[in-house]
Structures are given as C-alpha cells and as structure tokens.
Structure 1
Amino acid sequence: MKRVSMISLLTILSTVAVAKADTAQRLAKTVQDYGNSLAVFRCTFEDDLMKQVLVAQAVCIHVNNGIGTFLVLGMDGRMNPDRISETVLIASGVEQKTVKASLLSIDPELDIAFVRASESYPWQAVPFATSSKLAVGQEVVSIGLTPGDPANTPCVAAGYVSAIVRNPRQLVMVAGGQLTQPGSPVFGPDGRAIGLIGQQLFQGYQMVLNESTANVALKSQQQAQCFLPVEEFSHIFQHLGKKRRLAWMGAVRFTGVGAELSEALNLRRPGILIDQVVPGHAADKAGLKNRDVIVEMDGQGIEKLASPELIVQNFMISLFRRNPGESVTLTILRGGSEQKVTVMLESMPVGAHEAPRYVSPDLGFVVRERVLLDKYAAQGPADVEGLIVAIVGRNTPAAAGGLQGNDVITNVNAQAVTTADAFRRIVEEALKSDRSKAINLMIRRGTQNLAIAIQPPAK
C-alpha cells in the first residue's frame, strides 16, 4: 500500500514539474515573439485650463512596411483629438527609441485609442483571435512593460482562469498567479491574444489606524487579476481610424424592471422600462412611449443578469454595438399586451464635451453651449436659455466671485448670451477696455437667479 502511495506521489510531482516546464516555455516564447509588440504611448492633452502629459502602454496590432498601428487602452473617449499633440511611441530597450506617431481615433464606447507610427521600426504585431474560447482552469499568459523601468523591459506573467463573470461585460478572473499591468495583451494556449487587461476591480483590505482597524478598497496599477476577453472589444477594429458615433435609440433614462413592478405587470421575464422618450427622435418616430417595457430586441429576450441595473447596462452595450442607420425590432409590453416596434437608430447627439465653449484663463472658468441632452439630465442645469459653466478653477477670480460649476449664465454685462462666441466677444472687449471694472454676470442656480461680479486680475 505504501509502495502504491509513493508511486502516486511521484506521478503527481512529475506532472507538476512538466506543467511548470510548459509554463516556463510559454513565458519565454511570449517574450521572444512579442517583446517588440509593446511601446509607451505619450502625448500632450491641452485641457480647458491646463496642459497635461498622458502616458499609457500601447500594443501593436498591425505592421505594414515597418509602420506599426497600435491600440491604447484607457484613453478617455470624450477627449477631443484636436487637443492632443506631441504624440510619440517609445520602444522597449535601453536605447528608448522614440518614434513620432499620430492619433487616428478614440473609441467612445471602450475608451480605446488607435495610434499609428510615422516612421518604420521592427515592430511585431500581436494577432488577436476572434473568440477567446475560455474555460475555468485554462492557463493564460500576458506580456507588459516592467513598471518603473526606464528601459521599458518586457515582462511576462501567468495564471489560471478562475471564473468568468458579467459586470455587465464579460470579465475573466485569474488565480494561481497574476497578470501584467493594465493595457497588456493576454494570450491563450495557441499563442494568439484572447484579451486585454483593463482597469482592475477594487479589493477590500484592512489597515490599522490608531489601534483600530479600518476597511479600505484598493486596486493595483501594476499587477492584474482579471482581463477583458476579445469578444468584448473586437467589434471596434472595424472602426479603426474612423470617428465613430455611437448608435442612439432616441430615449433616455431606462430602468430595469424590478420585482415589485414585475409582479404588478405579471411579467415573468426580464424587462426594461423606458423612462423618457425624446420628442422628434428615433423612439418617438417609431411610436414608443414613456412607460413602455422592452422585453425583446430582434427576437431575443432581454438577458437576465444579477441586477436590474446590470440588465439596463447590458442593453445599452447591445445598442452601442449597432451602427447609426440600422434598425432594431423591439417587442414591448404596453397596457397588458405585447406589440412589435421597429426603430431606426440615430447617431448619438452631441455631448457636453463636444459643445462649443469659451475658455477664460484670465478669469479662471470655462463655459459651454447647451446641448440636447442637458434638458433630460437627472441633475442637469435649469432649462433656461444661456451658457453652462463647465469648469471653475481653484483660487481664480471666478471662484472668488462665487461662480460654480453647472451655473447657467443668462447674461453678461447686461447683454443676453446663448452662444460661446457672443460670450467671448463681450468678455474680451470688456477686458481690453478697462480691467479695473468687474465682469457682471446674471446666473441661474437651481431655482435662484443670482448676480455675480468677477474682478479681473491686473495685468
């Protein structure tokens, strides 16, 4: 019996040794194949009141005659590409080869930028699979650039799929090891990339403060325990280099149908309540009404997830993966009966970040014009004509005068204003004429009309 047990133990140890050897070989091959697939992307973003340098890891996805095209995860899709300059890619290695680059586009759904090098370099493109085909227990490896290393040396890591969760996008959890930092590609058994490491989930920790414990939520920026599978982002490759507008149904404020409303409606499957149809747009043109309940889209039932909020988020993601001009057929519940409605999707309306604006560095604030969705924002500015205060800088004349973000400026120096250009003209003429005089604003804050005086600084 002891002899059998010894043989079993030796078999297990041998199997473990082989598995470790296989992992070591995979890690070494990953560095060999894709060590030149990563770079540091650096650019300057000129914000409304300041400039900032942005740095992120870039992954090469295509090479043509030495010219590499890269994706960069974590670039805010609301940023105006026209305000981004000094874009470069810095290759790994002690030489720190810097290659000029151009920003092609930033995807507004996933905050992924596409960047193209402007000169040739021996980049290696990472091949992405069309499907991850993941299973619990499967080994995955990743490659990234070593954090804090001036030479940007490639580093590798391995782990095992421990769970695949919905949040509402698929998120693959890894245990028995770890992955490299956000922005890194993750590879499956066949050597193709099956995912990207994105922002990590917060984890709970305890720390001791003054002899008592406190719970804190932390997440690592250098080591990862989860990643986004390729199914969640491969659809954006078709938009590479194009300015993409998300599809919009012409309705805002959807609500997942909870247990109480489901019982009242005698609804035995997931549903989404339309809270606000925007007059004159797609949903309204198709005949949808407030309080309609969506139960199917294109013949598929609304997917059941862990909470009503996740159900709504997942529905919105499904819409975003369509293109403006496409039609979707919704099955809705209205007045106790079901009916089908076909909606032709529109382009997402201009957002607040895209609205014409005026920046006053002297006075320390930024105003923008109103956009369609301001009217329907849950805590948006008052529905009055004027300009919305987007930013008020700290320790500025505007802050000293009492101006606040989201105030609506209805007139300046006794002149009504509704456009950023008119506001700019009045303010700049006043500053040029006599800087000793205050800029007088009438604003709407909530339900109050207030007068505010901003004293310009002396030159």
Structure 2
Amino acid sequence: MIPREWSKAKIIVLGIIVLAIAAMPAAVSAEKGIATLRETSKAFSAVAKKAIPAVVSVKVEKTIREEGQLYQSPFEDDLFERFFGPRYHYRRPPRQRQQVGQGSGFVISEDGYILTNNHVVEGADKIVVSLQDGRKFDDAKVIGTDPKSDVALIKVDAENLPVIELGDSDALDIGEWVIAVGSPFGLQATVTVGVVSAKSRGVGLAEYEDFIQTDAAINPGNSGGPLLNIDGKAIGLNTAIFSQSGGYMGIGFAIPINLARSITDQLRKSGKVTRGYLGIQMHPEKITPELAEELGLKDNKGVLVTEVIPDSPAAKAGLKRRDIILEMDGKTVEDWQSFRNHVAMLEQGKKVTLTVFRDEKKKELEVEIGSLEEGQIALGVSEVSRKLGLQVQNLTDELATRFGYEGAKGVIVTEVTDNSPADRAGIGAGMLIISVNRRDVSTVKEFSEALKESSKTKKALLLVRNERYAQYVVLSLD
C-alpha cells in the first residue's frame, strides 16, 4: 500500500510537469517572436548598408536679389513732423546676397546621374555633391528639371559609383515597410523607418502629383533622398512633409519612382519633358457612392468626363461628356489624378484602349495619344497666356449660340486662373476676346501669335466683350 504522502507528492510533481508543458508553447512562441524581430532588424540594417553609399548630400548656392525698401526715419510721428516739417524718404538700392540650401539625392547610374527634387536645385548658381565615402564634386551639372512634377536630374563627372536600383511603385501596398534615407538638417546618411500610410495623395505641391504618404520620419534636408522598400530598391523620391512646426509630424510625401523614372528618362535623352494628351476635363473628385448610384455604376471606380475638347484625341476617338472611363488597356482607373498622371507619361502616337461606361453599357474606344504641348497651343495656353491666367478656344457655332455671340468673331475664354492679371481685370470664362495688341483674332493660333508681342512689352491690350458690351483691358505681365 502506497503511503498517502507519496500520492500527494506524485500529484504535485505531475502538476508541475503539466504546467511546464503548458508553458513551453508560450516560451517557444515568444522566442520565435524575438527571432522574427531580430531578422527584421537585420533586414533594415542590410538595406541601410546597401543604400547609404549611393545617397548623396546636395549643397546649393544661389544668388537672391532683394529689392530696395523705402528708408524711414526713426522719428516717424505727427509731433515730429509739426516741428520739423515733412521728411523725405528714399529707397535703398537693390542688393544681392548668397543663399545656401541643403538637400539630398541618390545615384541612379554608375557614370554619375543623380535623381533629386527640382525645388532643391532650382535657380542654383553652384551645386556641390558629397558622397558618403568623402568624395566631393564642386561642379555638378543640371541635366534637366521638371517643375510640374518637382523632379530634377543632375550629374557629376565620375565612374563606377554605387547605385540604388529603382523598384516598381505600382506594386507597393499600403502597410508595407519603407525606409527613408537622406541628410535632414545636414546630417548625412540618416536612416528612418516607417510604413506606407496611403497612396495617390494630392496635396497641391506640384501640378502633377500622385504622392506616396509615409510615417517614416522626413525632415528638411531629406528632399531628394530615396524612399526604399524592404528589398533596398527605390520606390519613391522623398519630397515634402506636412508640418505645423517645420519639423516631423508623422506625415511625409514621396513621388512614386515610376513617375520619377519616366521624367528622368526624358530629361536624360533631351533635357526636357513632353507629356501625353487626351483632351478631356474630368470631375475633380473621386466618384462618391451616391453619384455612382445615380450614374448606374456598381462601384465608385473610374473618372467622370465633364468636357471633351473639340478636335482633341478624345474627341476624334468618340469620347463624350458624361462618359465614365473605367479602364485603360485593361487596368482599372482608380481616380482622376492617377489617370491624368498615367496619360501624361504616355508617348505621343501611342494607341490605348479605354473602357467607358455610357448609357449603362460598357464600350471600348481606341485613342491615339497626342502631345500636351500641341494640345495647349490648340487651347491657347502659351507661356504668355499662362502668365496672364487665360485659356481660350475657337468660337464654334454651338458656343456662339450658347453665349450669345452669333455672327461675332474672336476666341472664347474657357478658363481664368484665380488672382491672375486676367482675373483681377474682371475677365471671366465665357467672355469673347476680339483683338489682341490691336490685331483682330478669330482663331486660337491668331490669338497666340498676337500675344508674342507681349513677351517683349510685358503688357497685353485686349478687346473683350460679353453679351452686353465690349471694352479694352490692359493686362500686365509684371
């Protein structure tokens, strides 16, 4: 017979064994978690070691002209003037001063091509590029810039430089790890880690933008540096931050590398950028569920066409107002901003298939992409008209009837930029421009030709009318 004390001991030992066995999975799980974190940490470290040698510091020197200010006496009060009479003010002469800026960039070819932001090198008199190995290049050259996307390509005279491979930003998903590298506040080779917070952001910083939003710390001086994926490939070009203090607040923006690559390829070949052109105006917001329901759509994907420019590639292909573009070459169109960017990246002459939703049916249309530059000329958007804030088009019979200009000649104003010289002069959309600089105009081409004189005189004399009266208006380009 087994003593009672032994039975109790067995029970206690058995209980300890059971608890130990139960605790083993938790311990093993914790160990696995730590091992996973350790591997993740090593992955970040490996990416940093691979990328840092190809990330450069960009120092920029530029000359800033400051207009002279009126000099005022320190005794500026009515009592002083009653005793000593009025004072005579004079304007200090304008002066120039040197401004020094700091940014980042990264090497994309062994022979010295470097990708950075336009706002980093814009107006630079001198660009100094410093590599992480201590080499410094005092004579970096600007190959080309694109202010509309804030992308710039510069070059140093070197060979066998370390390079960062470019990835595919279209394959990037929200929530993925990303790594930002740059020189914030002049602190070279600074690495920060975060995730992709959102895609296709538009924040009003550039004309063409489709930003990747990230919470990886980006600060002043990071501009032009790479945003890397976990494979060490550049999937973005760090560009801006949202901040109320001037420093990091958890919201940074990077230009998708696919957009930057398209721009730099053109800059490298010709030093300038040409963009594709479709010739439509779109509803400038994402289609809401309510609007989708009214239009007969199953979801809110696609872009709504609000206007088709006459004689444009879209008009020739048969696109119509109220069409909803669902796909381009089989790829879903998410929103107007990304669609506009994709069209702009296409070469003139390329044919694409658009799937549109019209009268509750899908329809495919083949469009031959045009040139944005030629499209703007057709729309009367020359450099001078852009500065004046004017966009015009030919007066068609339909437009003449709609605005009450039957029998009249001229070009009709289709758009006026807010707070532009045209806007301040009271010119609005729907007005008719009869003459420019004392020359009658009846086509967009004549309008653009007549405006060339204004680039020299810095003024434009326009005869404009509405349905009630006509008047002369002088616009200044200064």
TM-score (norm 1): 0.62
**Aligned residues of 2:434 and 2:440 also touching (Cα < 8 A):** yes
Structure 1 residue identity aligned to 2:316: K
Does structure 2 conserve the Cα–Cα contact (< 8 Å) formed by 1:172 and 1:228? Answer: no
CA contact (8 A) 2:63 2:125 kept: yes
The sequence identity of aligned pairs, in percent, is 20
Question: Which residue of the partner structure matches residue 280 of structure 1?
Answer: 311
Q: Is the 8 A contact 2:174 2:199 kept in 1?
A: no
Whether the 8 Å CA contact 1:136–1:162 is kept in 2: the answer is: yes
Match of 2:376 among 347, 350, 358: 350
| Matching residue of 1:57 | 104
Q: Any idea what SS the aligned residue of 1:33 has?
A: helix
Q: What amino acid is the match of 1:239? A: Q
- Equivalent residue for 2:278, pick from 245, 249, 252: 249
Residue of 329, 343, 346 corresponding to 1:319? 343
Task: Name 1:105's counterpart in structure 2.
Answer: 144
1:266 and 2:292 are equivalent in the alignment: no
Partner Cα distance (2:383, 2:173) in 1: 48
Q: Alignment partner of 1:39: what SS? A: strand
Aligned residues of 1:328 and 1:345 also touching (Cα < 8 A): yes
C-alpha displacement of 1:224 = 6.0
Q: For 2:151 and 2:352, how far apart are their aligned partners in 1?
A: 26
Kept after mapping to 2: 8 A contact 1:144/1:154: yes
The residue number in structure 2 matching 1:91 is 130
**Distance (whole Å) between structure 1 residues aligned to residue 353 and residue 437 of structure 2:** 52
Q: Give the counterpart of 1:40 among 59, 65, 83.
A: 59
> Would you say the 8 A contact 1:277–1:290 is kept in 2?
yes
Partners of 1:372 and 1:76 lie apart in 2 by: 36
2:198 is equivalent to residue 154 of structure 1: no
Pairing of 1:174-253 with structure 2 (within 5 A): 174=215, 178-179=217-218, 181-200=222-241, 202=242, 220=247, 225=252, 227-228=254-255, 230-231=257-258, 233-241=260-268, 242=270, 243-253=272-282
Do structure 1's residue 290 and structure 2's residue 321 form an aligned pair?
Answer: yes
Post-superposition CA distance 1:89-128 (Å, at most 9, x none): 34268999553243323347632111223x4488543332
Distance 1:86 1:353, change over 3 A: farther
Structure 1 residue runs of 5 or longer lacking an equivalent are 204-216, 304-310, 360-365, 377-381, 429-438
Find 1:125's aligned residue among 138, 159, 163: 163
Separation in structure 2 between the aligned mates of residue 273 and residue 386 of structure 1, nearest angstrom: 24
Contact 2:213 2:251 in 1 (8 A): no
Matches within 5 A, 1:420-431: 420-423=451-454
CA distance in structure 1 between the aligned counterparts of 2:475 and 2:324, rounded to whole angstroms: 49
Residues 74-97 of structure 1, C-alpha deviations (whole Å, 9 max, x = no match): 4499x9xxxx57353342689995
- Whose Rg is larger? 2
C-alpha distance in 2 between matches for 1:358 and 1:72: 30
1:30: how far off?
A: 5.4
Deviates more, 1:402-411 or 1:84-93: 402-411
Q: How far did 1:53 drift?
A: 6.9
Matched residues in 2 for 1:27 and 1:335: separation? 52
Question: 2:76 maps to which residue?
Answer: none
Superimposed CA distance per residue, residues 294-315 of structure 1 (whole angstroms, 9 cap, x where no aligned partner):
3333334444xxxxxxx22232
Give the C-alpha shift of residue 154 in structure 1: 0.9
Q: CA deviation at 1:41?
A: 4.7
Within a 5 Å distance, the mapping from 1:374-389 to structure 2 comes to: none
| Matching residue of 1:70 | 114
Counterparts of 1:92 and 1:294 in 2: how far apart (Å)? 46
Q: Is the 8 A contact 1:61 1:71 kept in 2?
A: yes
Q: 1:291 aligns to what SS in structure 2?
A: coil
Question: Is 280-289 or 2-11 further displaced after alignment?
Answer: 2-11
Map 1:162-177 to 2 at 5 A: 163-167=197-201, 169=210, 171-174=212-215
Maintained 8 Å contact 1:326/1:344: yes
More strand by share: 1
- After TM superposition, the score normalised by the length of structure 2 is 0.60
d(CA) in 1 for partners of 2:460, 2:383: 22
Deviation at 1:358, TM superposition (A): 10
Q: Distance in 1 between matches of 2:357 and 2:292?
A: 11
Q: Identify if the C-alpha distance between structure 1 residues 443 and 133 changes in structure 2 by more than 3 Å, giving closer, same or farther.
A: closer
Distance 1:76 1:445 in 2: 44
Separation of aligned partners in 2, 1:288 and 1:454? 36
- The 1:333–1:59 alpha-carbon spacing in structure 2 relative to 1, beyond 3 Å, is same
Cα distance in 2, alignment partners of residues 327 and 146 from structure 1: 43
Rate the CA distance shift 1:157–1:266 in 2: closer, same or farther, 3 A.
same
- Report the residue type matching 1:126 in the other structure: I
Distance in 1 between residues matched to 2:321 and 2:100, nearest whole Å: 43
In structure 2, what is the equivalent of residue 142 of structure 1? 180
- Taking only aligned residues, the RMSD between alpha carbons, in angstroms, comes to 5.5
Q: Hey, what does 2:88 align to over in structure 1?
A: none
Deviations 1:166-225 (A, max 9, x none): 4374625336xx34523211334444333322223x36xxxxxxxxxxxxx566479864
- C-alpha distance in structure 2 between counterparts of 1:71 and 1:137, whole Å: 26
| Worse-matched range after superposition: 92-101 or 107-116 | 92-101
Pairing 1:29–2:49 present: yes
Are residues 373 and 261 of structure 1, via their aligned partners in 2, closer, same or farther at CA, if it must alter by over 3 Å? Answer: farther
Distance (Å, rounded) in 1 between the aligned partners of 2:472 and 2:169: 59
Shift of 1:325: 0.7
2:215 aligns to what SS in structure 1? strand
What whole-Å deviation, never above 9, does each CA across 1:310-338 have from its counterpart, x for those lacking one? x2223223322322211122233334444
Q: 1:144 offset after TM fit, Å?
A: 1.1
